[in-house]
Chains A and B, each alone.
Chain A
Amino acid sequence: MSLLKSFTAGLRSLFRRRQADHEMDDDLRQFLEASVEDKIRRGMNRNDAIRAARVEMGSFESVKDGIRSASWETGLESFGRDLRHSVRVLRTNAGFSIVVILTLALGIGANTAIFSLFDALMLRALPIERPQELLRIGRLNPHYDSEPNPTFTNPLWEQIRDRPEALSNAFAWSNDRLDLSQGGAVQYANTLWVSGDYFRALGIRPAAGRLLTTGDDRRGCAPTAVLSNAFWQQRFGGDERAIGSSITLNNHAFQLVGVAPRGFSGITVGRSFDVAVPLCAADVIDSPQTRRLDIRAWWWLNIAARPKPGFSPAQINASLAAISPQVFGAVVPQNWDPQGRRNFVKSLLSAEPASDITGGIRTQFGQPLRVLLAIVGVVLLIACANIASLMMARSSNRRKEIAVRLALGASRARLIRQLLAESLLLSFAGAVLGTFVARWASALLVRYISTTRNQVFLDLSIDGRVLAFTAAIATLTGILFGILPAFRSTHVSLSPAMKGDADATPTRRLHSGKWIVSAQIALSLALVAAAGLFLRSFVKLASLEIGFQQDNVLIINTNLQTAKVPVAARLSTADAIESRLRAVPGVLSAAHSWNTPVSGYGWNDYVGSDTPDGPSGEDRLVWFNFISPGYFETLRTSLLSGRNFNAHDTPESQKVAIVSATFARKFFRNRDPIGGIFYIDPKAGKANAPILVVGVVKDSKYESLREETASIAFYPLSQIPGNAETMSFELRTAVSPLSLVGPIQSAVGEVNKAIPLDFRTLSRQLEDNIVTERVLALLSTFFGGLALLLAMVGLYGTLSYLVARRQKEFGVRMALGARPGFIVSLVMRDIAIVLAAGLGAGIAISLSSVGVLRKLLFGLAPRDAVTITSTVILLAAVAIVAAWLPARRAGRIDPMVALRHE
């Protein structure tokens, strides 16, 4: 009540200041008159009474000041005055202000950018009803898994769906891409496969039409689809008439039934969707031989649920464990070996809060983002130190102003407040500008980490948390770089300062500037070392022996199943396309294959050979590919011995393979691998045909650049089992690969116009594989360089300032016969201690903190001696140059000029 009264009274006097002022004057005048009259009554004459009363009262203004200081609004008012004064001061130093604001905009902007990514990735709640109670279902095979595996097959999902004992609202989903085009260049729609209960369980309401329900998700369903709001706007202009029409996905018509609400992009962080289709529609798209709805080893679904009301987490997990034997027992993969099948049945279902789930993009970028957040934080700290030095140097120019204000009765606290207001104004101006930098930078970063196959989608709208973060670091930086100069510059002895004596500040105080520089050197050393590690790690990855030549190779992924090419005609169609492609001008050689290197897809199995001392355990794992005879020539993988595939390798002839050098060494030891025989492990008791090795090729990367050299077996496409749904073409070109897209489309069109074509270069495919390392190397090098630059500017500036301050001393020394070299060494010796301390502290920081980088480095220990040594040498060299310039200037001081300066 009284708080409210005080508040409103304060506001009133704040906004009606003149009136409030008048009121105070009135009150004081009344008091004065009453006092005068009282004195007259007691016998004074009028003039004496007036004088006495005036003396008692003192100055009106100081009484009014006292009244004002008893009210809260005065603090606000003087803060407003401080701000106005600050604006004036900063405007008169426009150059200084602009440099500081731009530095801060960059520093705070970088922090905000990284934090907003971190926020979107790790902190933000899903845009669904009661996100905190959502449970993610996993399966734990006690023999293999240390933590639950979140992927499921459709047969498993159906088992779980039909056993609602433990969970309510269970639903399944999968992120995929389907092709919108009807032949020609593919146009992917990010597709969300959803079970019937998906939208209902999440509490999502349609923006138009209706959402998918259990009625849409029945075996044998007619394909239906729901659009995301963004896709609806983009493709149909938000037209409601789109509902009821149909869109084509992988060459099949899907009827549109409705639109999801704005802002709903599914529940996989980092992914978005264009269309959502029911799981049952997979049967429309899949070929009859490979139906993902029935395959018991196609792990494509994620499952989540809400707990049954009143169930504790322990109860839920207990009842999931209880149903696990029946669930897994009912859908054992038919072609697994007996041991694998026995273990499968022992798997257990588990549930954990979905918000804790790390996986996919969270695992990929969570740790890198934390590291980057630390890096940009340190950069900002170094920048703060620079600005503090700058402000300290500048405040020595303002010493006179400050001394005058102190002499006029301003309290020191008041002046410190004023100076802090200046720094806060600077830091907030930097933060506002930085927010724009951040929006741009974070969007750029998201584009940069998106790969052709995985488009990263993050909601980067600035929310309260990001704003609070930015405001907090702006305040913190403002205080950090402002507090020391504010205290320092208000601590002056008045009379020499007012006389303009430059030495009014004790020189002892100048030395704190050097220790700031020392800290800067230490921090920038840590950052440069981290950058060096990331850079070396990236270079190692990028310059690995990959076993093929990546430049000027175009990859065209096609889907023959979508194009409805009959199974029997698939291989001949692919052959026909290859020969057309070879005739396209600019194409040097052409090939096609089931898989391409480092595509992210793979096929492996355990293999046994007829060598007695062959490998065992995981060493028996071999990766497979099926290729046309032109494959090795096109990729430039050299054939080490034996022969290439040829027209004599037919479905009916002896099964043959070309193996990698590692395969040959592992499976055939010292024997000649050519003519050797190996077998793929028997499936479900059925022995596989013996495979004859006819050639050996150089080792190459299969799935990832990071992998250990894998054993690979290549088979001729003519002997591929199954039905070759997808096929990739590889072209080595004499010109820029993507310039051939047009001619290639028409060449393929001559064979079959319905075939969807997805173009990418092999080098892009490899880049996508090391995107995290690339981003880390790029950003850490950028920020490391920035830190180094800032530290050296700091060193140079501080030393220049010190030299300028000691000009007189040096002048005297030289007048007394000191040689320039001595002066230079005086300065350099001074800075050597600073440098040594900085480097020492920096090495200590690096060694103790780089451990967290271990998982992010490739082929490099975090305490890599080469990196740290070269960082120290680099820093020392640059620092000596930065220090040498002002030191040399000290040696050139003309004693006459220096002494006359007074």
Chain B
Amino acid sequence: MPDQPTELVQGTLDMLILKVLALQPMHGYGIASRIEQMSAGTFHVNPGSLFPAFRRLERAGWIEPEWKESETSRRAKYYRLTSSGRKQFKAETAAWGRQIAAIARILEA
């Protein structure tokens, strides 16, 4: 039984998008459903926050769009991680790991 969908922790959406794209290039809906899938239904990302995040990441130069045939053999806009995006993802993951560990320590104390 999956948990009820919850709001994402503030500021983690960018990181999750980068994570999904680190595996393979993906189109918008694909990214959303992949995040939902990978979180086993915990996180539901709506387009209202997803698309502004794409714009942000694109402007930062971490992801870039490319046009590809989709699974349904239609031309679709895919996002791909750039090399600086990969670096950013590693940095964010490391930072996140430290934060999680710290929070866990506090909660367990």
Binding site for B on A (CB under 8 A): 1-2, 5-6, 9-10, 24, 26-28, 30-31, 33-35, 37-38, 56-58, 62-64, 66-67, 69-71
Contact = CB atoms under 8 A, between A and B. Distances in A.
Chain B at the A interface: mostly helix, strand, loop or mixed? helix
9 contacts: A27-B51, A30-B29, A31-B29, A34-B70, A37-B72, A56-B47, A57-B46, A66-B48, A67-B55
Contacts of A28: 47, 51
Interface in B1-47: 27-30, 32-33, 46-47
B33 A38 contact: yes
Nearest to B75: A30
Contacts of A1: 61
A27 B58 CA distance: 14
B30 A34 contact: yes
Nearest to A36: B29
Contact of B76 (A5, A30, A38, A57): A30
Contact of B58 (A9, A26, A56): A9
Nearest to B62: A2
Given A5-B61, A58-B46, A38 B55 contact: no
A877 to B, nearest CB: 63
Contacts of B59: 2, 5-6, 9-10, 70-71
A26 B67 CA distance: 12
Interface of B: 27-30, 32-33, 46-49, 51-56, 58-62, 70, 72, 74, 76-77, 84
B28 A30 contact: yes
B27 A34 contact: yes
A28 B27 CA distance: 11
Contacts of B29: 30-31, 34-35, 38
B56 to A, nearest CB: 5
Nearest to B28: A31
Chain A at the B interface: mostly helix, strand, loop or mixed? helix
Contacts of B33: 38
B46 to A, nearest CB: 6
Contacts of A30: 27-29, 76-77
A27 B61 contact: no
B90 to A, nearest CB: 17
Contacts of A63: 47-48, 51
Nearest to B51: A67
A57 B60 contact: no
B31 to A, nearest CB: 10
A762 B28 CA distance: 90
Nearest to A2: B61
A26 B55 contact: no
- Which among B33, B49, B52, B56 has the highest number of chain A CB atoms within 10 Å? B52
A598 to B, nearest CB: 73
A27 B46 contact: no
A118 B77 CA distance: 61
B5 to A, nearest CB: 11
Given A2-B62, A34-B27, A71-B59, 20 more contacts: A1-B61, A2-B84, A6-B60, A9-B58, A10-B59, A27-B28, A27-B77, A31-B28, A31-B32, A34-B30, A38-B29, A38-B33, A58-B47, A58-B48, A63-B51, A64-B51, A66-B51, A67-B51, A67-B52, A67-B55
4 tightest A-B contacts by CB? A34-B29, A2-B61, A70-B52, A6-B59
A47 B26 CA distance: 26
A37 B33 CA distance: 12
A784 B3 CA distance: 75
Contact of A62 (B28, B48, B53, B77): B48
A70 B53 CA distance: 8
A345 B77 CA distance: 92
A332 to B, nearest CB: 79
Contacts of B49: 66
B38 to A, nearest CB: 15
A6 B57 CA distance: 10
B25 to A, nearest CB: 15
A509 B89 CA distance: 52
B88 to A, nearest CB: 10
A1 B83 CA distance: 13
Contacts of B74: 33
Contacts of A34: 27-30, 70, 76
Nearest to B61: A2
- Which among A2, A9, A69, A71 has the highest number of chain B CB atoms within 10 Å? A2
A58 B58 CA distance: 23
A413 B7 CA distance: 26
A141 to B, nearest CB: 71
Given A2-B61, A37-B72, A38-B29, A31 B47 contact: yes
Contacts of B55: 67, 70-71
B86 to A, nearest CB: 14
- Which among A6, A62, A67 has the highest number of chain B CB atoms within 10 Å? A67
Contacts of B60: 2, 6
B29 to A, nearest CB: 3
A33 to B, nearest CB: 8
A69 B61 contact: no
A1 B61 CA distance: 8
B66 to A, nearest CB: 13
A163 B44 CA distance: 89
B51 to A, nearest CB: 5
Contacts of B76: 30, 34
Contacts of A57: 46-48
A148 B42 CA distance: 84
B47 A69 contact: no
A30 B75 CA distance: 9
A37 B70 CA distance: 12
A62 B48 CA distance: 7
A320 B93 CA distance: 70
Nearest to A7: B59
A785 B80 CA distance: 70
Nearest to A59: B48
Contacts of A56: 46-47
B108 to A, nearest CB: 37
A69 B61 CA distance: 18
Contacts of B28: 27, 30-31, 34
B30 to A, nearest CB: 7
A71 B55 CA distance: 7
